[in-house]
Structure 1
């Protein structure tokens, strides 16, 4: 059988390139491909077709990666591509398709016809005017002018460009790494102009969603604004330039602090629903969210770094909304075999247990608590005080300032016939030894109550306290890791009568607080 092989440009920007049987063909920056991009080598890759077995051997030679079906190739390593495989001469750019004629038997891609109908994710939009017809939605109003709003003293900024129209269907996107990427290739932009559209299909995809009646929204965490590293006035100009570039009305929400607006918490979405959608209820089942912070592990595709967080994926899970990675949404890549990490703590599955009555003793004692910051020690102390009818009284280093002051206060309480709860982290033998020594000196019992709350769970509790504005000493990640490194398992050998393991048992003032607690609040 005589069989031909072609490399066809999906945008028809040049004539198909014939790949003769067992003949090496070089592809790169040239008049043939019409690629002028300096980041593309003149000898970017070589292709050698086997028209009998119906595959093409691909080897990347250029400095910058070539893509095959969405995955970056490794330099100088041979890969096999089959009929219908998509080749990106530069990863995510200059898309081509391999075609055998006649196609191999039983090929899923045997009916490829790029000329008649391009894959929608690769449709070129440059210099084309696309007519967009919005579906009418009751009570929706179209914005007549560009408008910026500052909410909660700059914790949230909202940009509503002219043409934005409310809808029950929302298509929401992260910004950095999703709709845009840096020109410099660095993780963080070097200035306000260091950006470009991430994928050639972005504008087309957004226009298609708009024509289907979706309201387009950007939800972006921008902590550098809140920390003063970036001026909001400069960032506003960047946002307006991005909206102009994609050439569709897309409403932008910027969370600048560590409040409930910051993803994965749902504050931006809540504000959209309550204040920025003309009182139109959002249909969660018919809405979507796309972002790059999905928790993909290192080398989820060849040469790809792990995602910086999983805030976007967890936001979607908090909302119960369909989630897509940028490559999945804009390029049509499958995520079936992409490895994702999972959060260390899942608040949706956490079930608290009953109060442990054994924590209260008839004997006068010092009860030493052990656990991470945020593990529930202060909450447990209050429970014990109340359930013991205040026979127990806590001493807390966060309040008194030093263990010496706590020891002095504990001595006074013991003299008054009160048992003492030591509400401190007490991670090691040395810190706990001060209390076993004091108990021995005062001739009272000494027991230990170790919180079983994990570090991730404790960090979740700490974040919950921040969001609910519960008065407490601020705790950063350094403190958590310091505790983890110092921790040694408490034992009766230290002088404790017994060591009791205690599960954190939260209670909530109202249903809203409980709903927030059961959301993913951590970004990793």
Structure 2
């Protein structure tokens, strides 16, 4: 038997190129490949097939890099390519498959999915026939017309395309940078028409998943709609155009606010699972999520910028489902050697801490708290007040407005025989000196309690309060950055009798609050 070798375009945009045994063939920009891209050389790669060993020797020759199964190749290097390997004539573009006919003896083709229903000619029992007919009726249930819905006053918009069927298997995707990219080449679209399909394989891959019984979903954070920079009516036209272009029925979720619906929080998925899947339970093990916000570091591929966030990969972590980058899913790349950032704060690793009884003194004192906004100072205040039988009373700058008013109130309380807790951030020696000076004037002891809560942890707490709609004003990232830049570690040399370090200990009103807290809530 004479074995042949072919170099086949993944998109079938041209006839397979035959690679004769032991003959060097040059492939690149040409009429044969229909590649017109000037960054691709006419002799971009050379291929020499060994039809006896079922191997192809590949040499990259072009100025711009070629790729093999997602990895950039060194110019003038020599690589061995096997049956089924993907060769990118230009890295990430013009993907071709090496195929031997017949395939190698040890080659195992992908397993075929068995038909769920018996062949029509096979006899079935009445009970089994009823079950099959019931399943067929369920399969027929689909959206008869495209529809838009607004949830929670426009916190989420949902578009359900005509022909969409619910399923226990979910194929979920981010939108920007995953299914589409800008035509302009800018990071953010200049208008609602500034988009194009991100990869040539997108529509084909979505169709494959649809045919495998998956329900196709898009989860997208779209704060410009929430803050009024983009009109929802204009954006609806963009979504409808994208779905029409992809030519598969899709359900699209747009989170416009900053609360529980915004990724990486799981609000959009919760809506899907509980209200938008026709009461069909979702099989987490068979479902997946694909997005470009994966925390990849700069130059994760040649010349590529770092990912703008980790929102997509952390959403998948929160849900416990398989995650893919767009390059993995659509191009077959590996991320085994891709450098990835990790979250600074991992909520599930936080353990409850016992109350430090040393925080309560037997003598009258001024206790100065130090810590990021959201570090747990207010919770600590309540604990001290309760455990001391209200011998301690707090003065809070967030309530009184200025440190001068806090100082006046503290003076009055100390004169009444109370111990006073100063509930403020107090990041530097200057802000703390006000209180050591007041304690000295009032002839009382002054101690310091510093919250060890990190910046990322405090930001997580702030986000949690925002999501749970706890009565706190949301804090901007600028405030956290300012505190970190001004912070000076407090010491007894400032005039404190003692400096106590306090670990944050979470408390929850119910199980739902605890579940939300243990999720990744920050995007970076």
Length-normalised TM-score, structure 1: 0.87
Unmatched 5+ residue regions in structure 2?
113-133
| 8 Å CA contact 1:369, 1:449 repeated in 2 | yes
The 1:326–1:368 alpha-carbon spacing in structure 2 relative to 1, beyond 3 Å, is same
Q: CA deviation at 1:199?
A: 2.2
| 8 Å CA contact 2:81, 2:98 repeated in 1 | yes
User: What is aligned with 1:306?
Assistant: 306
SS of 2:79's equivalent in the other structure is: strand
User: What is aligned with 2:34?
Assistant: 34
Supply the distance in 1 between the matched residues of 2:98 and 2:214 (Cα, whole angstroms). Answer: 34
| 8 Å CA contact 2:11, 2:201 repeated in 1 | no
Supply the distance in 2 between the matched residues of 1:92 and 1:302 (Cα, whole angstroms). Answer: 11
| 8 Å CA contact 2:7, 2:16 repeated in 1 | no
| 8 Å CA contact 2:26, 2:43 repeated in 1 | no
| 8 Å CA contact 2:46, 2:61 repeated in 1 | yes
User: What is aligned with 2:373?
Assistant: 373
Q: CA deviation at 1:445?
A: 0.5
| 8 Å CA contact 1:19, 1:48 repeated in 2 | no
User: What is aligned with 2:126?
Assistant: none
Q: How does 1:39-58 map to 2 (within 5 A)?
A: 40-41=39-40, 43=42, 45-47=44-46, 49=48, 55-58=57-60
User: What is aligned with 2:234?
Assistant: 234
SS of 1:60's equivalent in the other structure is: coil
Supply the distance in 2 between the matched residues of 1:419 and 1:467 (Cα, whole angstroms). Answer: 34
Supply the distance in 2 between the matched residues of 1:112 and 1:96 (Cα, whole angstroms). Answer: 20
Q: CA deviation at 1:300?
A: 2.2
1:352-402 deviation per Cα after TM superposition (whole angstroms, max 9, x unaligned)? 211111101111111000111110011111111111111111111111111
User: What is aligned with 1:129?
Assistant: none
Q: How does 1:233-252 map to 2 (within 5 A)?
A: 233-252=233-252
Q: CA deviation at 1:91?
A: 3.6
| 8 Å CA contact 2:397, 2:403 repeated in 1 | yes
SS of 2:513's equivalent in the other structure is: helix
User: What is aligned with 2:71?
Assistant: 71
The 1:169–1:56 alpha-carbon spacing in structure 2 relative to 1, beyond 3 Å, is closer
The 1:44–1:189 alpha-carbon spacing in structure 2 relative to 1, beyond 3 Å, is farther
The 1:165–1:206 alpha-carbon spacing in structure 2 relative to 1, beyond 3 Å, is same
The 1:54–1:165 alpha-carbon spacing in structure 2 relative to 1, beyond 3 Å, is closer
| 8 Å CA contact 1:46, 1:61 repeated in 2 | no
The 1:47–1:3 alpha-carbon spacing in structure 2 relative to 1, beyond 3 Å, is farther
Specify which of 69, 77, 80 is matched with residue 78 of structure 2.
80
Q: CA deviation at 1:474?
A: 2.4
Tell whether 2:343 aligns with 1:343: yes
| 8 Å CA contact 1:451, 1:502 repeated in 2 | yes
Length-normalised TM-score, structure 2: 0.87
The 1:20–1:330 alpha-carbon spacing in structure 2 relative to 1, beyond 3 Å, is same
Tell whether 2:68 aligns with 1:60: no
Unmatched 5+ residue regions in structure 1?
120-133
User: What is aligned with 1:260?
Assistant: 260
Q: CA deviation at 1:229?
A: 1.5
| 8 Å CA contact 2:364, 2:419 repeated in 1 | yes
User: What is aligned with 1:122?
Assistant: none
The 1:415–1:210 alpha-carbon spacing in structure 2 relative to 1, beyond 3 Å, is same
User: What is aligned with 1:508?
Assistant: 508
SS of 2:367's equivalent in the other structure is: strand
Supply the distance in 2 between the matched residues of 1:140 and 1:327 (Cα, whole angstroms). Answer: 33
Supply the distance in 2 between the matched residues of 1:138 and 1:458 (Cα, whole angstroms). Answer: 47
| 8 Å CA contact 2:41, 2:63 repeated in 1 | no
User: What is aligned with 1:130?
Assistant: none
Q: CA RMSD in A?
A: 3.0
| 8 Å CA contact 1:173, 1:219 repeated in 2 | yes
Q: CA deviation at 1:44?
A: 7.2
1:177-211 deviation per Cα after TM superposition (whole angstroms, max 9, x unaligned)? 11112222222222222222222222222222222
Supply the distance in 2 between the matched residues of 1:517 and 1:227 (Cα, whole angstroms). Answer: 26
Q: CA deviation at 1:11?
A: 4.3
User: What is aligned with 2:215?
Assistant: 215
Supply the distance in 2 between the matched residues of 1:207 and 1:47 (Cα, whole angstroms). Answer: 33
The 1:451–1:163 alpha-carbon spacing in structure 2 relative to 1, beyond 3 Å, is same
Supply the distance in 1 between the matched residues of 2:107 and 2:96 (Cα, whole angstroms). Answer: 16
